[in-house]
């Protein structure tokens, strides 16, 4: 019996080796897809074309914030075996949990709007297809994948898509002349150019996204890791942090590449980008035809993969209303996917300006984000929820500071809209 238990532990739990680490790469990359989605493309291209390298610091700040916050919410999934939606439903009174989860569901719809719209724009770039027809194709394709595939299959597709997107931007950057001194300054020196607050908030909302917090905790707890053995939990937390760190650094690199490309082409020529397909059209005379095609193909992959993860997040949030985890075969999970996709698709049919729709959708995510962050901090700081793995005082303070910064920026955004 002892030998059998040892064998099971060897096969199921992490060991201290580089090969073992590879087994735990995946959840972070699914989250990474959420912040290299079409909404990010729109906000990053707008940031680079209007302000050059000046707003690269927002990507750096957002990525650091994301590493801290995403690791914390994964901590919740590992320790409790509950995703954020389930924990919210279980540990908060209904008068609080219902509004919180409802606002998160609206954020999921807003996310799906950006993802589906981005994929449809890519289809228009590649095949001249109308936005409405393209949106239907993207929605149906992602529904089929979500209603039939398991996590393991989806993770493999997502890892492949992220790799292709990253390589695409490396190719694009090799074609342009980048002012690396200005870029390095932009990465580390915060600046607030005139009329930049909307773009800053949109970039923030596009990187640190509410639905990703629900998504990460859902993917982590779905792996059904042992919840009782303290040494095993500590190992899981260590390996999860490596996964999160690696994935967020990849996301930082791809988001930075978008701004670098836009700054070194459009800003240099004093051409503000107002539409994603405008960016592709302008790249062709500036950089070459291949760059335009690769740009559109990478956008299509970003749209499909991020729509899939948005659907999982929306499904997890809706299932959380009933104290359930995401399961692609469960009715509540299926309804959650539809509730995330269908309203988003209907909005696309009536939206006037697709690019502006992407920007505004990211802004809404940033406005909802403090609600999710403060809920998460409460849960992960509670000994009732986390036991001995509850946040330390310093971690709680750090998370509260980050949540406060986001809230203050949101207030500044709202003031700017009415002045």
> Are 310 and 211 a contacting pair, CB within 8 Å?
yes
The b/e string for 189-212 (b: 16+ C-beta within 10 A; e otherwise) is: eeeeeeebbbbbbbbbbbbbbbbb
Would residue 102 count as lying in a domain? yes
Sequence-distant (6+) residues with CB within 8 A of 339 are 105, 109, 314, 318
Specify the range with the lowest mean pLDDT, choosing from 12-26, 92-106, 282-296. Answer: 12-26
Would residue 248 count as lying in a domain? yes
Would residue 238 count as lying in a domain? yes
Longest dimension (CA), the chain: 72
Sequence-distant (6+) residues with CB within 8 A of 304 are 119, 138, 141, 142, 161
Whether residue 13 is predicted with pLDDT greater than 70 in this model: the reply is no
Please give the residue that has the higher pLDDT: either 235 or 192.
192
Residues 143, 144, 147, 150, Cα dihedral to 10°:
-110
Whether residue 365 is predicted with pLDDT greater than 80 in this model: the reply is no
Whether residue 200 is predicted with pLDDT greater than 80 in this model: the reply is yes
Whether residue 67 is predicted with pLDDT greater than 80 in this model: the reply is yes
pLDDT in tens, 236-249: 777 788 888 888 88
Would residue 1 count as lying in a domain? no
- Torsion-angle region of 391 (φ positive above 0: left; ψ -120 to 50: alpha; else: beta): beta
Sequence-distant (6+) residues with CB within 8 A of 228 are none
pLDDT of residue 246: 85
Would residue 29 count as lying in a domain? no
Of residues 339, 90, 308, 320, the one with CA closest to residue 214: 320
Range(s) of the domain holding residue 371: 37-418
> Are 214 and 317 a contacting pair, CB within 8 Å?
yes
Our measurement of the distance from residue 53's CA atom to the centroid of its chain's CA atoms, rounded to an integer in Å, reads 22
DSSP letters for 306-328: HHHHHHHHHHHHHHHTTT----T
Q: Would you tell me the crossing angle of helices 56-80 and 84-91 to the nearest 10 degrees?
A: 60
Sequence-distant (6+) residues with CB within 8 A of 58 are 47, 200, 203, 204, 207
Query: At 202, is the secondary structure helix, strand, or coil?
Result: helix
Q: Please, what is the end-to-end C-alpha distance for the chain in angstroms?
A: 72
Q: How many domains does the chain have?
A: 1
Would residue 413 count as lying in a domain? yes
> Are 307 and 300 a contacting pair, CB within 8 Å?
no
pLDDT of residue 401: 93
pLDDT in tens, 333-342: 999 999 999 9
Whole-angstrom Cα distance, residue 255 to residue 249? 10
Helices (runs of H) and strands (runs of E) counted in the chain: 19, 0
In terms of DSSP H, where are the helices of 263-353? 276-287, 289-320, 331-350
Instruction: Provide the CATH number for the domain around residue 109.
Output: 1.20.1740.10
pTM above 0.85, yes or no: no
pLDDT in tens, 109-143: 988 988 898 899 899 989 989 989 999 999 999 99
Distances (CA, A) of 245 to 27, 119, 287: 11, 27, 33
Whether residue 16 is predicted with pLDDT greater than 50 in this model: the reply is no
Our measurement of the distance from residue 36's CA atom to the centroid of its chain's CA atoms, rounded to an integer in Å, reads 7
Would residue 22 count as lying in a domain? no
Would residue 412 count as lying in a domain? yes
């Amino acid at each position: 019996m002892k030998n059998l238990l040892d064998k099971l532990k060897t096969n199921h739990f992490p060991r201290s080796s580089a090969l073992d680490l590879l087994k735990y790469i995946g959840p972070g990359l699914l989250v990474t897809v959420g912040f290299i989605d079409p909404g990010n493309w729109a906000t990053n291209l707008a940031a680079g074309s209007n302000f050059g390298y000046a707003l690269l610091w927002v990507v750096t700040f957002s990525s650091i914030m994301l590493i801290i916050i995403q690791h914390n919410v994964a901590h919740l999934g590992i320790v409790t075996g509950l995703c954020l939606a389930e924990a919210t439903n279980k540990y908060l009174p209904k008068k609080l949990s219902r509004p919180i989860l409802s606002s998160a569901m609206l954020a999921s719809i807003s996310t799906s709007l950006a993802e589906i719209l981005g994929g449809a724009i890519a289809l228009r770039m590649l095949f001249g297809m109308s936005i409405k027809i393209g949106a239907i194709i993207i929605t149906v394709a992602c529904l089929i994948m979500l209603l039939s595939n398991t996590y393991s299959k989806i993770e493999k597709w997502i890892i492949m898509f992220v790799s292709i997107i990253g390589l695409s931007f490396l190719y694009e950057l090799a074609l342009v002349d980048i002012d690396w001194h200005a870029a390095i300054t932009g990465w580390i020196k915060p600046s607030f150019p005139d009329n930049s607050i909307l773009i800053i908030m949109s970039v923030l909302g596009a990187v640190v996204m509410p639905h990703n917090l629900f998504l990460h905790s859902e993917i982590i707890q779905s792996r059904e890791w042992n919840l009782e053995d303290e040494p095993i939990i500590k190992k899981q937390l260590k390996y999860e942090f490596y996964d999160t760190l690696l994935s967020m650094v990849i996301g930082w690199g791809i988001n930075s590449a978008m701004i670098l490309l836009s700054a070194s082409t459009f800003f240099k020529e004093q051409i503000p980008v107002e539409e994603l397909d405008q960016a592709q059209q302008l790249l062709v005379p500036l950089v070459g035809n291949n760059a335009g095609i690769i740009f559109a193909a990478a956008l299509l992959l970003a749209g499909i993969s991020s729509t899939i993860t948005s659907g999982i997040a929306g499904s997890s949030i809706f299932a959380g209303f009933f104290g359930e985890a995401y399961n692609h075969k469960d009715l509540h999970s299926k309804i959650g996917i539809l509730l995330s996709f269908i309203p988003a698709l209907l909005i696309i049919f009536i939206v006037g300006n697709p690019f502006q729709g992407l920007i505004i959708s990211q802004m809404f995510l940033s406005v909802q984000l403090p609600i999710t962050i403060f809920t998460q901090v409460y849960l992960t700081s509670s000994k009732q929820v986390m036991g001995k793995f509850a946040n330390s005082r310093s971690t709680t303070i750090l998370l509260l500071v980050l949540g406060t910064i986001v809230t203050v920026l949101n207030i500044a955004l709202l003031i700017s809209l009415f002045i």
